[in-house]
Amino acid sequence: MEVKVNALMLRAVDYGENDKILTLLSAEKGKISAGIKGVKKAAAKLKFAAQPFCFAEYVLSVRGDRFTVINASECESFYDLRADVNKFYAASAVTEAANFLSYEGDDCREILYAAVGALSEICSGNETQALIKFLLFALSRSGYGINAEQCAACGADLFNGSAALRFDMGSGSFICAECGDGAGASRVTYNVIRKLGGKSFKEEYITPDGEKRALRLIREFVSYKLNVSFKSLSEYIRLI
């Protein structure tokens, strides 16, 4: 049997001498693994289908629960991402996070469409803000949303308050300094996360340093909740 899926290539692992195993995030089948043969050869016609950030219509042969890519038609390669090292690692953080935060058997369309949109925005716009926006959205859709409202413990107003803030990794919430011993967090970080999460914010706190701090907090939160090493995001933070 053959099926067609519109999918973003998240990860490729070498298999044998010339083959790879792809992790695809698809609109139709969710996240799946699929073999693809011969793509390590220089003249392979499907070489593009195993490249980072490839968004394509993949034709898959299905045998039981095993998928093999037999053809593909590229929709978008996001080629410009490979010409800028900062954009490359920001885009890599998008696909790595999409892999962490999607699960086989689940409907992953919202994360897929958000990831494709983020890659497009990274190509042409502010890659840091596009990355943070995607990470906050994907975390929320996966059940790990970050709460940047009032203090999650006592309900104190954090938006207008003047007290120091903390961030509780267990609950993914900002809290006032009096309510816990979470990691220290600045108002800059708090407002950047509010802005890129689609909430009201104070413009004077939106700075490049605040965006970098927000990425550090998100990296630590993802690592804490999922027990993973967020390598591409760490490299992007080092670069900016």
Residue 181's pLDDT is 77
203 and 91 in a common domain: yes
Higher pLDDT, 110 or 177: 110
- Write the CATH number for 36: 2.40.50.140
Average pLDDT over residues 151-171: 88
In a 13 Å sphere around the CA of 220, the CA atoms on its Cβ side amount to: 14
Q: Single out the residue in 56, 76, 96 at which a domain terminates.
A: 76
196 and 89 in a common domain: yes
What range does the domain containing 111 cover?
80-146+174-239
Looking at the domain assignment, is residue 159 inside a domain? no
Cβ distance 3 to 62 under 8 Å? yes
52 and 84 in a common domain: no
CA 96 from centroid of its chain's CA atoms: 6
Average pLDDT over residues 91-118: 96
Number of domains comprising the chain: 2
Q: Single out the residue in 76, 96, 119 at which a domain terminates.
A: 76
Average pLDDT over residues 46-54: 94
State yes or no: pLDDT of 47 exceeds 90: yes
8 and 90 in a common domain: no
54 and 101 in a common domain: no
Looking at the domain assignment, is residue 167 inside a domain? no
Cα dihedral across residues 86, 221, 50, 107: positive or negative: negative
200 and 186 in a common domain: yes
Q: Are strands 183-185 and 165-168 parallel, antiparallel or unpaired?
A: antiparallel
In terms of Cβ atoms closer than 10 Å to its own Cβ (0-12, 13-18, 19+), residue 68 is: middle
- Write the CATH number for 220: 1.20.1440
Looking at the domain assignment, is residue 203 inside a domain? yes
- pLDDT tens-digit series, residues 126-146: 999 999 999 999 999 999 999
Residue 32's pLDDT is 96
Q: Single out the residue in 19, 43, 76 at which a domain terminates.
A: 76
Average pLDDT over residues 194-212: 95
91 and 125 in a common domain: yes
Higher pLDDT, 195 or 79: 195
138 and 29 in a common domain: no
Give pTM, 2 decimals. Answer: 0.94
- Three-state SS letters, 82-120: HHCHHHHHHHHHHHHHHHHCCCCCCCCHHHHHHHHHHHH
Cβ distance 212 to 69 under 8 Å? no
55 strand-pairing partners: 8, 76
Residue 125's pLDDT is 86
63 and 13 in a common domain: yes
Measured CA to CA, the distance from residue 106 to residue 219 in angstroms comes to 24
Residue 68's pLDDT is 97
Measured CA to CA, the distance from residue 115 to residue 142 in angstroms comes to 14
Q: Would you place residue 167 in the very low, low, confident or very high pLDDT band (cuts 50, 70, 90)?
A: very high
Those residues whose C-beta lies under 8 Å from the C-beta of residue 10, and which sit 6 or more positions away, are: 22, 23, 24, 25, 31, 95, 96, 98, 99
Cβ distance 98 to 22 under 8 Å? no
Looking at the domain assignment, is residue 162 inside a domain? no
State yes or no: pLDDT of 180 exceeds 80: no
Average pLDDT over residues 170-176: 94
Residue 179's pLDDT is 85
87 and 198 in a common domain: yes
Measured CA to CA, the distance from residue 160 to residue 145 in angstroms comes to 22
Residue 31's pLDDT is 97
- pLDDT tens-digit series, residues 80-92: 898 999 999 999 9
Looking at the domain assignment, is residue 6 inside a domain? yes
Residue 16's pLDDT is 85
Higher pLDDT, 16 or 197: 197
195 and 127 in a common domain: yes
87 and 34 in a common domain: no
State yes or no: pLDDT of 163 exceeds 90: no
Looking at the domain assignment, is residue 223 inside a domain? yes
Residue 42's pLDDT is 84
Q: Cβ atoms within 10 A of the Cβ of 84, count?
A: 14
